[in-house]
């Protein structure tokens, strides 16, 4: 969340951020509630001071008049505290609905059409034969079973099998090894979580519709949720902690299953593995000092690491700077890396790299003590290092051969145990 003082002093800027990100503008409503809240806090403090002075002034000589006045003050304080409690609840709810302010170099726009291409690498593969989609290749190679997946799991279910499973696991291990070399600590976090980590990461309230939940009907307090990314638990790894500046930055690479309901996406990419409900991902989270220049350096580092992976895999891709309407509520700045997928004749998002500043750390209450002894909220960044099986689409389609086989990228051959996957 944003600092309330920042919102008070930059009302126009925050309202523009809400408008440009396409979320309801609750700024005026928040500031009215904030004013009422501050007024009530002051009144409660004044009445408490008056009651204390009354008690101290009596010096043991308690008259009926003092008793009555004390009783009246107690009732007034209790009434105001109840009102303050209701206002605080509304205030906290509104604070969670105010989006982050994008960086000045982020293009203003409504949709993906307004995103800006930053760079490309490699060339689109060319074929002198009638090439297949990953859906066809996976069936012919017998490495993904969509039919039985649907039978067992329902719509968009799948089984990775044989070389498909090995390729999938190889990609995850390849990514983890790459990040360990870059100084990241590998993490396998919990994915069934309480509500607060989703609030901390800003997936709630905005993205709640896309999250699976599980709870005991008899015990609603046991309600928990399935995370769609390891970002959610990793952002909360240090919640309610105070770190030392010397500890920063902290670099985490979370390997986990991911679960998403994909509400509103029905009818899009219904065949294959592009838009599915569960997948595996290696997610990076960086915890660094409250310094935007340092955060921007880490944003570029995270982007470079993902680009290195795609270059090692020999896949053509482009980097997009996301516009305000397509970047998400918590982000200050965001890159999407999109990999070419011949079967779609289009690029598909495979990585997503973001600065969120102290927007998440204020929610998670993660601070650090500076060398001068001051307290600051940390900055947080996140990036999808790689996700599978979506990346399999680009590999299978880009490396397919005329005889129906698929060449295994060199960096994955030790994991798969072969150079070529051939039709059964």
**Candidate list 202, 236, 256, 352, residue with the active-site label:** 352
**Candidate list 262, 349, 376, 405, residue with the active-site label:** 349
Instruction: Check if 148 is active-site.
Output: no
The C-alpha atoms of residue 424 and residue 409 are separated, in whole angstroms, by 20
Asked whether the whole model's pTM tops 0.85, one would answer yes
Instruction: Check if 78 is active-site.
Output: no
Beta-strand relationship, 116-121 and 346-357 = unpaired
CA angle 110, 262, 229 (to 5 degrees): 95
Instruction: Check if 48 is active-site.
Output: no
Instruction: Check if 275 is active-site.
Output: yes
Structural domains in the chain, CATH included, are: 4-95 (1.10.287.40), 112-421 (3.30.930.10)
**Candidate list 260, 303, 362, 363, residue with the active-site label:** 260
**Candidate list 26, 363, 367, 390, residue with the active-site label:** 390
Phi, psi of 332 (to 5 degrees): -90, -40
The tens-digit pLDDT sequence of the chain (424 residues) is: 999 999 999 999 999 999 999 999 999 999 999 999 999 999 999 998 888 887 776 666 777 787 788 888 889 999 999 999 999 999 999 999 999 999 999 999 999 999 999 999 999 999 999 999 999 999 999 999 999 999 999 888 999 999 999 999 999 999 999 999 999 999 999 999 999 999 999 999 999 999 999 876 656 667 899 999 999 999 999 999 999 999 999 999 999 999 999 765 555 676 789 999 999 999 999 999 999 999 999 999 999 999 999 999 999 999 999 999 999 999 999 999 999 999 999 999 999 999 999 999 999 999 999 999 999 999 999 999 999 999 999 999 999 999 999 999 999 999 999 999 999 7
Instruction: Check if 349 is active-site.
Output: yes
């Amino acid at each position: 969340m944003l600092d309330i003082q920042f919102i008070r002093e930059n009302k126009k800027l925050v309202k523009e951020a809400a408008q440009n990100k396409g979320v309801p503008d609750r700024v005026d409503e928040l500031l009215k509630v904030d004013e009422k809240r501050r007024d009530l806090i002051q009144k409660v403090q004044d009445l408490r001071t008056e009651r204390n002075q009354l008690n101290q002034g009596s010096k043991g000589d308690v008259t009926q008049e003092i008793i009555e006045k004390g009783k009246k003050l107690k009732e007034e304080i209790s009434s105001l505290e109840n009102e303050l409690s209701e206002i605080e609840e509304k205030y906290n709810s509104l604070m969670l609905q105010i989006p982050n302010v994008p960086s000045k170099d982020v293009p203003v726009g409504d949709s993906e059409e307004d995103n800006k291409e930053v760079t490309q690498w490699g060339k689109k593969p060319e074929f002198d034969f009638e090439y297949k989609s990953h859906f066809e290749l996976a069936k012919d190679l017998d490495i993904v079973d969509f039919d039985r997946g649907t039978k067992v799991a329902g719509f968009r279910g799948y089984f990775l099998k044989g070389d498909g499973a090995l390729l999938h696991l190889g990609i995850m291990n390849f990514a983890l090894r790459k990040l360990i070399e870059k100084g990241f600590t590998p993490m396998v976090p919990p994915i069934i979580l309480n509500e607060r980590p989703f609030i901390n990461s800003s997936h709630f309230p905005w993205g709640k519709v896309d999250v699976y939940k599980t709870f005991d009907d008899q015990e609603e307090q046991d309600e928990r949720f399935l995370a769609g990314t390891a970002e959610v638990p990793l952002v909360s790894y240090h919640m309610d902690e105070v770190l030392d500046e010397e500890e920063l930055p902290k670099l985490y690479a979370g390997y986990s299953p991911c679960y998403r309901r994909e509400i509103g996406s029905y009818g899009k990419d219904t065949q294959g593995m592009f838009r599915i409900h569960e997948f595996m991902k290696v997610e990076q989270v960086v915890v660094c000092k409250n310094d935007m220049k340092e955060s921007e350096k880490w944003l570029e580092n995270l982007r470079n690491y993902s680009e290195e992976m795609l270059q090692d895999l020999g896949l053509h891709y482009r980097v997009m700077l996301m516009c305000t309407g397509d970047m998400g509520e918590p982000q200050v700045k965001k890159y999407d890396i999109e990999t070419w997928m011949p079967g779609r004749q289009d690029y598909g998002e495979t990585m997503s790299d973001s600065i969120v500043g102290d927007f998440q750390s204020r929610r998670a209450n993660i601070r650090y003590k500076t060398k001068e002894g001051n307290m600051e909220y940390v900055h947080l960044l996140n990036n999808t290092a790689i996700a599978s099986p979506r990346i399999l689409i680009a590999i299978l389609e880009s490396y397919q051969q005329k005889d129906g086989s698929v060449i295994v990228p060199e960096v994955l051959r030790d994991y798969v145990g072969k150079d070529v996957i051939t039709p059964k």
